[in-house]
Chain A
Amino acid sequence: MADVSLKNLHKTFDITEAVRGINLDIVDNEFLVLVGPSGCGKSTVLRLIAGLEEITEGNVLIEGNIVNDIPPKDRDIAMVFQSYALYPHMTVYENMSFGLRLRKYSKNEINKRVLDAAKILNISELLDRRPKQLSGGQRQRVAMGRAIVRNPKVFLFDEPLSNLDAKMRGQMRTEIKKLHQHLKTTIIYVTHDQVEAMTLADRIVVMNDGIIEQVGTPDEMYNAPKTHFVASFIGSPSMNFIPCQVIKTNEDLYIKINDKLYFSVPKERLDRYKVLINKEAILGIRPEHLTNAKQHIHDMYEDFNAKVKVLEPMGMDTMVFFDISEAEVCARCDPKSVGKVQSDMTFTIDKSQIHLIDIKTNKVI
């Protein structure tokens, strides 16, 4: 129940700069997900907020107060670790109540809080067990319980689901979302899994190499990525990238892939793409916007042919892989209308969903 601000945050380990100037405002009750590849600095940012690492430069503010020099225990935060970090010699009850006992809460208060949290997390019957008698999912619940009983202003999650199997991960994801709706508190959540980020977040922060690439809602991240990196990171399977050129003929602009393949630029984007005329660019298009030939319900659809290279049936859809001027491209097709391998097939591209990336700046135009 607090807002958190990061002002020009830097962190240097020896000679490597892990975090290079992060500015971010996290509003009260927001579920913010920090996502990025391993080594991008996302966990470091979380640890800086927690107070587990010393800040090299910049400020962390919780509820408007600078907390740089305040020790973790006095920041009123709780953290859930990837490895759970449960105390192995304590029972579940003792694990959950440890923080409260250190803070000298009354026995009744401790009992009430632990039982309440256990009920929320469905671990009431496990309170007498020790961590080694629990499954991975149960341990993760206990770790969350330990955070909940403290009723902190901010919850920090450091890749909490990474050690669970795929099915359990899906279940726990839903539970964490429910938990956020129930607790109505600020959550900062770190993950490298973009699916987790998309499903959980109110807002996503994509980080790369110590800086923020983009901040936005899951919807904005998916539909309007601002950089090449974000475009490639968000979405599964990931976006196709095809080298191209923007050329001008009379008043029209064309995206030229190779000598045989051109797409006309939709009218409403003419102004936007003018800056790219006669320049090298990258055409980004998601597999779901590249399908088997279908009826042109609006003029944004355009057809082209390519030779099928590999098929990956997924049940509901079939992923069709083919080459366009040396770039491998994936299209998401209806299994009923997919051609055979090595045969020619007609695909339809939805031009309202294309992204053009300036090769020099790596920005989406």
Chain B
Amino acid sequence: MKKLISKSGLHSNRKWALYTSYGFLIAFVIFFLFPPYFMLVTSLKSNTEIAELATNPWIIEHGVTFEHYWSLLSETSFLTFFRNTVVVTLLVVAITMVVSVLAAYSLSRLKFWGSGILATGIFLTYLVPETLLFIPLFKIVGWLGLLNSYWVLVLVYPTLSIPFCTWIMIGYFSSIPKELDEAALIDGANHIQMLLKVFIPVAMPGLIAATIFAFTVSWAGFLYPLAFIYSESEMVLTVGTVTTLIKGDVFHWGGLMAGALLASAPPVILYAFLMDYYIAGLTSGATKG
């Protein structure tokens, strides 16, 4: 009888834990989905309805219209911005991953003079905020002749993404048991083979986390393109959308919302696609655990 009581006690405990966690989850989902929802609703309204103060801002009362999407794609350089952003992001992610994986491997596994200090130093560079850096960087890229070209972003974004990604990868590589390298060493692997065939596959969740970070840095970066690029043909999505759709004190809210929604679609798709890999714990079973 005693057992039964304690069991039902556990049951009700669990029930309350579930209720509470679902309660919080629902609250957070509403909180975080509110901006995209508002963007979607506004982008589908006509200009008159957006300007109408008497209507309910949460719902579309006077019919759905795609005019903002249409004018965004046909009348502005949105597609150019999109293409520029894709080029910049792909290059930045590729450069970041190659450099930071190699750096992290050598810093976590090859013990050389000063390797510890170097690892800390890399992290410290990440702590310097970009708002401090863009003025000296402006001089440097001007001197390099890269001003007003999206190639400048391919050069400067890695200064933000490489230190952080290297740091993430050092953490993942360091968690790989030493015996695994030793086994590979005895099996006959050299450093490159060890990195490609053992370290990278085993640290895949870390690699994906780092990729997502590098992607976000270059996709959503605002300050550097704002400071370094001023002609429309070289703009990226973040700054381009804003500068073309805010003319003086006229805000094209419908177009802005449509642009923001379209610009945020690729990261959402990427996250959804990679999340499964990210969560899958590939390291389990390597050693006794």
Contacts and interface: CB of A to CB of B under 8 A. Distances in A.
A240 interface: no
A84 B180 CA distance: 9
A247 to B, nearest CB: 55
Which one of A78, A89, A98, A136 has the highest number of Cβ atoms from chain B below 10 Å of its Cβ?
Answer: A89
A98 B186 CA distance: 11
A73 B177 contact: no
B185 interface: yes
Given A85-B180, A88-B283, A77 B186 contact: yes
B185 A72 contact: yes
Contact of B286 (A71, A88, A150): A88
Contact of A99 (B177, B187, B286, B288): B187
Given A84-B288, A89-B282, A99 B201 contact: no
B183 A88 contact: no
A88 B288 contact: no
B284 A132 contact: yes
A73 B185 contact: yes
A79 B188 contact: no
Contacts of B283: 88
Given A79-B182, A83-B177, A136-B288, 10 more contacts: A50-B182, A52-B186, A73-B189, A83-B287, A86-B287, A87-B201, A131-B286, A132-B285, A146-B183, A146-B187
Interface string B176-219: 01011011111111000100011001101000000000000000
B186 A88 contact: no
Contact of B182 (A52, A86, A139): A52
Contacts of A102: 187-189, 193
| Interface size class, chain B | 20 to 34
Contacts of B182: 50, 52, 72, 79, 81, 85
Contacts of A84: 179, 287-288
B202 A87 contact: yes
| Interface size class, chain A | 20 to 34
A163 B286 CA distance: 13
Interface in B256-289: 282-288
B186 A79 contact: yes
A83 B178 CA distance: 10
Interface of B: 177, 179-180, 182-189, 193, 197-198, 201-202, 204, 282-288
Contacts, number: 83
Contacts of A146: 183, 187
A130 interface: yes
11 contacts: A52-B182, A73-B185, A73-B188, A84-B287, A85-B182, A87-B198, A87-B201, A102-B187, A102-B188, A102-B193, A132-B284
Interface of A: 50, 52, 71-73, 77-79, 81-89, 98-99, 102-103, 130-134, 136, 139, 146, 150, 163
A150 B197 CA distance: 19
Closest 8 CB pairs of A and B: A132-B285, A99-B187, A85-B179, A83-B287, A73-B188, A88-B286, A131-B285, A85-B183
Nearest to B193: A102
Nearest to B179: A85
A72 B186 contact: yes
A84 B182 CA distance: 11
A84 B177 CA distance: 11
Nearest to A150: B187
A243 B60 CA distance: 98
Given A81-B179, A87-B198, A52 B286 contact: no
Contacts of B179: 81-85
A150 B185 CA distance: 14
A98 B288 CA distance: 20
Contacts of A103: 188
A317 B45 CA distance: 91
B185 A88 contact: no
Contacts of A132: 284-285
B285 A88 contact: yes
A79 B179 CA distance: 10
B201 A52 contact: no
